[in-house]
Amino acid sequence: MRSGGFFVLRVLPRITKLNAPSTLMDKDNTAAVKERLVVIGNGMAGCRAVEEILARDPARFDVTIFGAEPRVNYNRIMLSPVLAGEKAFEDIVINGDDWYADNAITLVSGDPIVSIDRATQTVLAKSGRVEPYDRLLIATGSDPFIIPVPGKDLAGVVTFRDLDDVDKMLTAAEKGGSAVVIGGGLLGLEAAHGLSLRGMKVTVVHLMPTLMERQLDEAAGYLLKTELERRGQTIVTGGDTAEIVGRDGHVSAVRLKDGRTFDADIVVMAVGIRPGTTLAKSAGIEVERGIVVDDHMVTSDPAIMAVGECVQHRGACYGLVAPLWDMCRALADAACESPSGYEGSVTSTKLKVSGIDLFSAGDFSGGDGAEDIVMRDAARGVYKRVVVKDNRLVGAVLYGDTADGSWYFDLLKKGEDISDIREALIFGQAFASGGALLDPNAAVAALSDDAEICGCNGVSKGKVIETINAGACSLDAVRSTCKASASCGSCTGLVESLLALTLGGEVQSGPKTMCKCTSFSHDDVRRLIGEKSLRSIPQAMQELHWTTPDGCSSCRPALNYYLLCAWPGEYEDDQKSRFVNERLHANIQKDGTYSVVPRMWGGLTNPRELRAIADVVEKFNAPMVKVTGGQRLDIFGIKKEDLPAVWADLNAAGMVSGHAYGKSLRTVKTCVGSEWCRFGTQDSTGLGVKLERMTWGSWMPHKFKIAVSGCPRNCAEATIKDFGVVCVDSGYELHVGGNGGIKVRATDLLCKVATEAETMDVCAAFIQLYREQAHYLERTAPWIERVGLDHVKAGLFDDADSVKRLAARFRYSQTFCQDDPWAERVAGKDADLHQHLAEVRPLSITEYAQ
Amino acid sequence: MIGDWLDIGSVDQITPGTARTLPVVGFDEIAVFRTQKNEFYALVNKCPHKQGPLSQGIVHDNMVTCPLHNWNISLKTGEALGEDKGCVPTIPMKVDAGRMYLLRSAVVGKRAA
């Protein structure tokens, strides 16, 4: 338990915003007549209720919120992703300090209310603070249920309810070892998943024969169990806990009644919750299982309201998030004197375990007159079951393919007659609607306005459309305005469909994110790096809400490149985010050795260079030397420890890195041109060398090859290069976007110029346009196919100065790139990358072992 | 107690988010990882797929991506993640007072092939 310390965050209205003294007076006058609303509970229900009230009448109440946890309001249902390492605490904050400040709400956190005095209409906090109220809102949520077995109070037994619990689990996971989760319901499985991802050996002990039996039928429960076992968890169903075994006051194992025992360094108790009613009960308010409320969320005391998991409404208590939103709406309507009334909720469930798609809603226990429609697709691991009663959908369980979850849920809540679509019901919305809805956007269009889009934040389709119509034209804008898709992101596709539907063709549909760590596209990320002036990878990940702690092997190199391109000379290259070849400045081979390609400008070499290469081959016993397609020599079989010594020898002969390993300028291939060739029209070799001198060392979205052919016979194969020059009598034809790889693509003719200087400028400008606009790992060929040659031409030539400006940016960037990376390593830079940590000799080990 | 553990040097020798190699004469080379969160792991330096040097992969969270064919390997368990199947031996490791230690008996666990 945390110590009894508390702190008070007193947030004053931002009077600095008001400039005229008279306004201040007005404010004071209004304040005098405001009712005092005190909220017990700074959780999702309490804060949502306040949000709803503020949305209706911001001037009605002076609001004070008491919270037991020492922090601002956060999204409790997103604790699972925090535990799993997919989110950070900051990502799940719903209302930060500024929300309290902006709305002049007093937040008293870390100081729980201990009693309510209804006679004097005051509440007493643990610190002794007394707060008077006109209206009181109890939002005390629920408490985890602790099964009364021996050992339940041992250190290492935790619940899964708040951030402190998550912290305890993370601390345990740091040490590794075994975890036992008691309870195979939604919460228990999410805890198990998180601990498993954190590297613990996890056993789930569930009392019932089926996992999540309140939400799943046996078949879906079986599929889920099999999948979790495949992931390495041990799932014990029908397991009744007899005792939590301890050693020195700390848990060490869990013993079942059948005698089986499972080691445990931590035990997570997740068997259920019960409404937090202690405070209400001791104040004499009517309490049954929960605090009894009417349809307007008012308790037996008319001055006191209650909302959330602590209440009992029409006999029902809820432990899921969705009913909160409806309750809070009804509460706010009543509090602002336009009562609407809450009629109870039909709930649906999604399991937040990545890679497992599971949806359930309504009643699927069968019973009189209930008929099942089942579809199984074993190959795809899909199980769907809908339950129909009196021609109405009453329940649905989906495993493996939950795309139609919203649609079924909508049908269920509406209670619509489904006899017309019954035949096709199980195949989902697209089929049931006669094939007219195969377009996913049309499927979303068919949802009713009150269909829930975002389950995490309780946002309906109507609300999303309203937000879009009010000017939110991008996913990003929708997220920040109405919070739809801002939490777990599973409804991102739906929100994108709504954007497409509402704005027409202006929004591209379908997620095409940079990688699974982010919901932003490559273009978004590049734009935001500029707009938000992001200067480092950790900063970009933080500001752009990365869902992984430090990215993945896809996004790290991409971000590194984008930052390098955006801030030349300022951004410090991150070696950790470089693919091995670019980190070791050589090409890794299948046996873990490297190949080394020194630069040969324009394909030219000389005896000194050739001798140095020959000497290196002999000195380091390189098993093979090969002439490459790019007109240079490749030395194979060099160990990473030997690379600096190899480079030193090559440097000594005047050679530098050929960047054969980089997403960078590779080589400039040339033919001999007018200097020797009887057909040559220009000095193609000389021009090739000049181009290579200008462009070497530059980092690009992908590898970049140049060639210069001295006549249209095109011996240098310039028309399958990223940038190709074909010399003709009257000047130079400049070609772009060629590729000789998997899919051969001949170049497009970009333009024709008269001089070498113009060729150099257009080359620099084209490269810079590609560097600034293409996605990372996109060669020029697919880039041009994607954006169109006209777009590239427009970018270069629409404005008379474009080429000059782009070329200047490229040349500026090059001033930081043309230091030979090999020479830097030879001089001792990043020596750790090449040297072993140490070497272990087996003799010494044998000695120690004996 | 310390006799069971082999001191392999100071933690400062490995930059967070990278790995370094530890050849064991006659046995498989070991890759010693330090994550961005300053967790330390030791694995045999061979991807279970085609024996790629894991020490040269990009380290993210508590995984490493093999440089040869982009398999993601868990640093904690040595298991291939996602759709890939395979497991590389891990060597128990601990950090004490700024020094890194490998479990001596595991260092010579497997003869080099």
Tell me how close the Cα of B62 comes to any Cα of chain A, in angstroms.
9
How do beta strands B18-24 and B5-10 pair?
unpaired
Task: Quote the pLDDT of residue B108.
Answer: 78
Task: Quote the pLDDT of residue A161.
Answer: 85
d(CA A9, CA A104): 12
The strand ranges marked E within A506-602 are 587-588, 594-596
Eight-class DSSP state of A775: P
B26 touches A: beta carbon within 8 Å:
yes
3-state secondary structure A339-361: CCCCCCCCCEEECCCCCCCEEEE
| Residue of chain A with shortest Cα separation from B76 | A199
Task: Quote the pLDDT of residue A625.
Answer: 96
Task: Quote the pLDDT of residue A8.
Answer: 40
A196 touches B: beta carbon within 8 Å:
no
Find the CB nearest B25 among A557, A835, A841.
A841
Q: Under an 8 A CB cutoff, do B60 and A580 touch?
A: no
CA–CA distances in Å: residue B94 to residues A17, A44, A842, B5: 55, 41, 20, 9
Task: Quote the pLDDT of residue A440.
Answer: 59
d(CA A819, CA A289): 74
Task: Quote the pLDDT of residue A539.
Answer: 87
Instruction: Name the helix (H) or strand (E) containing A206.
Output: strand A201-206
A577 touches B: beta carbon within 8 Å:
yes
Q: Under an 8 A CB cutoff, do A840 and B32 touch?
A: no
d(CA A322, CA A315): 17
A231 touches B: beta carbon within 8 Å:
no
d(CA B33, CA B44): 11
d(CA A78, CA A86): 10
CA–CA distances in Å: residue A309 to residues A41, A77, A138, A294: 11, 13, 10, 15
B77 touches A: beta carbon within 8 Å:
yes
Task: Quote the pLDDT of residue A489.
Answer: 62
Q: Under an 8 A CB cutoff, do B70 and A548 touch?
A: no
Residues sharing a CB contact under 8 Å with residue A773, sequence separation 6 or more, in sequence order: A783, A787, A795
Q: Which residues of B touch A233 (CB under 8 A)?
A: none
Closest CA to A682 of A753, A769, A762, A772: A753
| Residue of chain A with shortest Cα separation from B106 | A845
In the stretch 163-192 of chain A, residues with CB closer than 8 A to chain B read 174, 176
Residues sharing a CB contact under 8 Å with residue A469, sequence separation 6 or more, in sequence order: A502
Eight-class DSSP state of A530: H
A199 touches B: beta carbon within 8 Å:
yes
Per-10-residue mean pLDDT of chain A, 850 residues long, equals: 38 35 40 82 91 90 91 82 82 85 90 94 94 95 90 92 89 90 90 90 92 80 87 91 92 93 94 91 94 95 94 88 87 90 82 78 72 74 84 86 84 83 77 56 75 77 86 77 70 80 61 77 90 89 82 94 95 94 95 96 96 97 95 96 96 96 96 94 96 97 97 95 96 95 89 96 97 95 93 93 96 95 94 90 52
Q: Residue A828 corresponds to which tokens in the numbers above? A: 């001792």
A592 touches B: beta carbon within 8 Å:
yes
Task: Quote the pLDDT of residue A842.
Answer: 67
Q: Residue A822 corresponds to which tokens in the numbers above? A: 């090999």
Alpha-carbon radius of gyration of chain A: 34
Residues sharing a CB contact under 8 Å with residue A185, sequence separation 6 or more, in sequence order: A206, A211, A212, A214, A270, A271, A272
d(CA A469, CA A263): 56
Q: Which residues of A touch B60 (CB under 8 A)?
A: 548-553, 556
| Residue of chain A with shortest Cα separation from B36 | A550
d(CA A547, CA A555): 12
Instruction: Name the helix (H) or strand (E) containing A62.
Output: strand A61-67
Q: Residue A462 corresponds to which tokens in the numbers above? A: 């109507």
* End-to-end Cα spacing for chain A: 47
B74 touches A: beta carbon within 8 Å:
yes
CA–CA distances in Å: residue B22 to residues A264, A273, A837: 33, 51, 6
Q: Residue B65 corresponds to which tokens in the numbers above? A: 């991506």
Q: Under an 8 A CB cutoff, do B105 and A551 touch?
A: no
Find the CB nearest A576 among B6, B37, B59.
B59
- Burial of A746 per CB tally in 10 Å (0-12, 13-18, 19+): middle
Residue A465: other Cβ atoms inside 10 A: 18
Q: Which residues of A touch B18 (CB under 8 A)?
A: 575-576, 832
B32 touches A: beta carbon within 8 Å:
yes
Q: Residue A69 corresponds to which tokens in the numbers above? A: 């946890």
Task: Quote the pLDDT of residue A149.
Answer: 92
Q: Under an 8 A CB cutoff, do B67 and A580 touch?
A: yes
Q: Under an 8 A CB cutoff, do B70 and A549 touch?
A: no
d(CA A481, CA A824): 49
Q: Residue A671 corresponds to which tokens in the numbers above? A: 């033919």
Residue type, A742: I
